[in-house]
Amino acid sequence: MLRFILATLTTSLTALGPALAAPPDVPFASIDGGDLSLSDWAGKPVLVVNTASLCGFTPQYEGLQKLYDTYRDRGLVVLSVPSDDFRQELGSNGEVKDFCELTYGLDLPMTEITHVRGAAAHPFYAWLRDKEGFVPAWNFNKVLISGEGEVVATYGSTVTPLSRKLTGDIEALLD
């Protein structure tokens, strides 16, 4: 009986594994209109960051733009995912876009305001929760995805965009 249970469990987990192996190709709505899909950047590392305009960590936008400027020619994509899940985002997508462009000169890809946790979480964040057990604990949590779609690392809000830890992981993917 124990062998049957173990065999059934192993079969179930094996069947589940491939379904969770890569992020779902469910697009994010772009703040500029249209869609942004991780598959658009296949073969490139992507740093996905849940952001907010009214947070104590908001000055990290400057570092995210510098990171993007430094590594974009080598293939890095930095995707900003504004979220109001922690009640620190502006009231509309237009306000977010204007704030980020005027205050920080952002030209990196950015989604519309998106849920990153809970039942309404975007499918990427639901996948991240299910596969990695990672749920953003606050704004400016970061997820580094390899060009093959694997999670390389997750980082909390206090890991700054230009930290050695983060840039070292990015450089390892680009070399």
Tokens linked to 20? 């969770």
Domains of the chain and CATH, by start: 28-174 (3.40.30.10)
Which tens digits make up the pLDDT trace of 14-30? 344 444 467 788 899 99
Catalytic residue among 38, 46, 49, 55: 55
66: nearest Cα among 96, 110, 105: 105
pLDDT band at 175 (very low <50, low <70, confident <90, very high): confident
pLDDT given for residue 21 in this prediction: 66
- pTM of the predicted structure, to 2 decimals: 0.87
User: Is 55 tagged catalytic?
Assistant: yes
Which tens digits make up the pLDDT trace of 98-146? 999 999 999 999 999 999 999 999 999 999 999 999 999 999 999 999 9
What share of residues in the chain are helix, strand, coil (percent, to 5)?
Answer: 40, 15, 45
pLDDT tops 50 at residue 10: no
Quick check: helix, strand or coil at residue 51?
strand
